Amino acid sequence: MTLHRRAWLQASLAAAASVALAAFARQVRAETFDHRHAAWSALLTKHVLPQRGGQASGVRYAGMAADRALLKGVLDGLSAVDNPSFQAFSRAQQMAFLVNAYNAFTVELVLGKYPNLASIKDLGGVFSSPWKPKWITLLGAQVSLDDIEHGMLRQRGRYDDPRVHFAVNCASVGCPPLREEAFVADRLDAQLDEQAQRFMSDRSRNRFDTGRGRLEVSKIFDWYGEDFRLGHRGIRSLPGFMARYAQVLADAPTDRERIRSERAEIGFGDYDWKLNDTR
């Protein structure tokens, strides 16, 4: 074997070994990442308080601020996951990771100005949005909260699960409740179902208005109505989604039947952007 060929072979073997080691390292990171999200769950359990029988929740941001070093540890752990490692996660692990990341980084965003803000919108301006700056290190890139929600969780053909709208929390009273525990892969389906049930049961945001003879529901269904037409669990329309929750949306049997038969007109209420702070 010539010297040149030997050198080429050694370089090829080294490159192959490097690729194999990188793949092994990614697999190790995927397997060792805490998919229980225990540290984030502990913070939520401590500082998120259920309200109105669990239909809503408030966040003790002052408590989160006191535990900011622990929150930073959570954020650092999320940021340490690169995209190849993420791709090795199961579908449920990916969704739980992204929802928890969105919620944890949103809390961090609020704490950057807390207590001197009445709404997360105070972090933006007339021509800017708090959800668009790319300040988050995630999956090996700099991303925004909008990137996580719209570019990842809502990306067509990826998860196609409208229940994410009951899981991500925009730090506002109008949002579905921030859950008092982290989302985890092995219970994700049940957790998302429960979040949807909690939100749809909240008559302050979703109800059949007998005076108007129509459903009055959260603005979320106006903004993201298309997500409820993707065929998730056989639902291909917003009225079809509402039909699943007729029992909690109305009291009168005739009104419930109107919702179940998808004949109820749908209107959208105002959105409350006040900070979901509980002092």
Helix, strand, or coil here: 274?
strand
Average pLDDT of the chain is 91
Res. 44: pLDDT tops 60: yes
Res. 53: pLDDT tops 60: yes
Q: How confident is the model at residue 24 (pLDDT cuts 50, 70, 90)?
A: very low
Angle at 149 between CA 128 and CA 40, to 5 degrees: 105
The pLDDT of residue 11 is 56
Res. 1: pLDDT tops 80: no
181 Cα distance to chain centroid: 13
Phi, psi (deg, nearest 5) at residue 5: -70, -35
| Residue 169, token pair as written in the block | 């929390």
In the chain, where are the structural domains located? 36-268
- C-alpha–C-alpha distance, residues 46 and 94, integer Å: 25
Strands 136-138 and 48-51: unpaired
The pLDDT of residue 241 is 97
The pLDDT of residue 2 is 67
- C-alpha–C-alpha distance, residues 110 and 272, integer Å: 16
**Residue with tokens 């008092």, as numbered in its chain:** 180
- Contacts of residue 158, defined as CB under 8 A and 6 or more positions apart, other chains included, come to 152
- C-alpha–C-alpha distance, residues 141 and 152, integer Å: 13
48 to 19, 116, 153, 154: CA distances (angstroms): 44, 20, 23, 26
The pLDDT of residue 126 is 62
The pLDDT of residue 3 is 55
**Residue with tokens 């939520």, as numbered in its chain:** 44
Res. 111: pLDDT tops 80: yes
pLDDT tens, 113-133? 999 999 999 998 766 899 999
Res. 84: pLDDT tops 80: yes
Please provide the DSSP assignment of 105-150 as one string.
Answer: HHHHHHHTTTTS-SBGGGGSBTTB-TTS---EEETTEEE-HHIIII
Rounded to two decimals, the pTM is: 0.88
- C-alpha–C-alpha distance, residues 47 and 119, integer Å: 18
Strand blocks (E) in the chain: 48-51, 56-59, 136-138, 141-143, 207-209, 214-217, 266-268
Question: Could you give the percent of the chain with pLDDT greater than 70?
Answer: 88
Res. 14: pLDDT tops 60: no
Q: How confident is the model at residue 277 (pLDDT cuts 50, 70, 90)?
A: very high
- C-alpha–C-alpha distance, residues 232 and 224, integer Å: 14
Question: Residue 140, by phi and psi: left (phi above 0), alpha (psi -120 to 50) or beta?
Answer: left
Question: Could you give the percent of the chain with pLDDT greater than 90?
Answer: 85
Written as one letter, the residue type at 279 is R
Helix, strand, or coil here: 216?
strand
The pLDDT of residue 196 is 98
pLDDT tens, 209-266? 999 999 999 999 999 999 999 999 899 999 999 999 999 999 999 999 999 999 999 9
